[in-house]
Amino acid sequence: MELHAGHHLVVQFLGMNVNLDTLMMTWLVAALVIIVTVAATRGPSLVPSGLQNAVEMVIESLLDQFKETLGPKYGQVVSVLLTMFLFILFANELGMLPNPDILASPTNDLNTTVALALVSSFMVHLMALKNQGFKRHFKHFFKPFAPFVIINLMEEFTKPLTLAFRLFGNILAGEILMEVLYFLVPVGVPMVWLLFSLVIGLIQAFIFTILTTSYLAPSFQE
Amino acid sequence: MVSINGTLLFQFLNFFILVAILAKFAYKPLLKALEDRRNKIASDLDEAAQARESAEKMKTDYEAQIRNARAEAQAIVDKAVKQADKEAQAQLNAIRNQITREKEIAQAEIANEREAAIRAMRNEVVTLSMAVAEKLLKKNMDTDMNAKLIADCIEKLHAQKAKGN
């Protein structure tokens, strides 16, 4: 058999190789996220019901996490963190729909996950510069002792790398396994793995967001 | 299969565009709704606490008023009872005095009546005696008797004259 998952439709654009399928799936996911959240928040009622209730429940539980980790200034990054969670969640789950030939998660492309991890990393440094100032942020690389600068600098690379590869690996592995299962046992078994993957998709979205939040936490300390 | 290429740049841009769109059209109204709800609940709770406080205050006031009213009513009843007692006593005294007065008057009248009766009886007795005497005198006064009476008188006169000498 030839695996479909992980293979991309590469086109040339402005002299760069671009994975067109990933981009199209990204736009689809973005459109879905926009439709769902805007529909849920349009004309919000005081007593929420239906979609508004579901979206508010998810967002409020995330907001509680952000507030607890980042403190009162969490509003500075709340839009990015919420979007991160919603985008990754929708992206992960979309690829789990049982037709791997058409729909694939944009998060099964390393480009997507690295881009998200870079967003996370940039945001951490930006917030540190904004809230702590250049001097204090620069000094923290030399704590607790000056030689730690090597470890601290390495950490700045490993953090986004682990974020990116964790998400990429989980989703791509899930899709490959799904394809293999469909090939080997077309009835029943893939459904079990599908349910499992749906949970993994949720967990990975949560982990990515919460780890980013915890990386941000030092930048928000007084 | 695993390669970094221009997609990375596009994904970076895509993500920020998505953040901008969601922040404007979804999070802003959503966070506002959540904040509004939080404020509403907080203010409702505040109002409820205030209402409860004022209700309790009102209850205390009413209880105090009821206590005062009860005490006042008791005082009024006590006063009325006292007044009634006093008036009854006064009436009793007045009646007692009147009875005493009337008794005295009655006694005086009785005494007067008795006096008058005694007097009348005495007069009657004298009149009767005189009538009896007259009758007796009329019946027995004959010449012998007259002569004897005259003789007695003369004798008594003599006797007195002789004593006087």
Facing residues of A11 across strands?
Answer: A18
Domain locations along chain A: 108-221
Q: What pLDDT is attached to residue A44?
A: 67
pLDDT tens-place string over residues B38-66: 899 999 999 999 999 999 999 999 999 99
- Identify all chain A residues contacting B14, using CB atoms and an 8 Å cutoff: 23, 26-27, 30
pLDDT given at position A146: 82
Cα within 13 Å of Cα(B132), Cβ side: 6
Question: In the Cβ-directed half-sphere of B133, how many Cα atoms lie within 13 Å?
Answer: 6
Q: The complex's ipTM?
A: 0.86
The fraction of chain B above a pLDDT of 90, given in percent, is: 53
Pick A79's closest partner by Cβ from B27, B32, B40: B27
Instruction: Report yes or no: B152 at the A interface, CB cutoff 8 Å.
Output: no
pLDDT in tens, chain A (222 residues): 667 777 777 777 787 788 888 888 899 999 999 998 888 877 667 677 777 788 888 888 999 888 888 888 888 888 899 999 999 999 888 877 766 566 788 888 888 899 999 999 999 999 888 888 888 888 888 888 888 889 989 988 899 999 999 999 988 888 888 888 888 887 877 788 888 888 998 999 999 999 999 998 888 887
B22 → closest Cβ in A7, A33, A119: A33
d(CA A19, CA A40): 32
Chain A residues with CB inside 8 Å of B33's CB? Answer: 41, 44, 56
3-state secondary structure of A1: coil
Q: Position B78: which residue type? A: D
> Distance from B24 to chain A by nearest Cα, in Å?
9
CB A219 within 8 A of CB A132: yes
In the block, which residue shows the tokens 């003369």?
Answer: B154
- Answer whether A110 sits within 8 Å of B29, measured CB to CB: no
Distance from CA of A134 to the nearest CA of B (A): 24
Preceding omega of B29 cis (within 30 degrees of 0) = no
| Cis-peptide into A44, omega within 30 deg | no
| pTM recorded for the entire structure | 0.70
Least Cα distance to A182 among A98, A105, A109 occurs for A98
Q: Model confidence at B114, in pLDDT bands (50, 70, 90)?
A: very high
Q: What's the pLDDT band for B112 if we cut at 50, 70, 90?
A: very high
Q: Does B44 touch chain A (CB under 8 A)?
A: no
- Report the alpha-carbon distance of residue A69 to residue B154 in Å, rounded: 170
Of the candidates A13, A44, A119, the beta carbon closest to that of B33 is on: A44
> Where does chain A show beta strands of DSSP type E?
10-13, 16-19
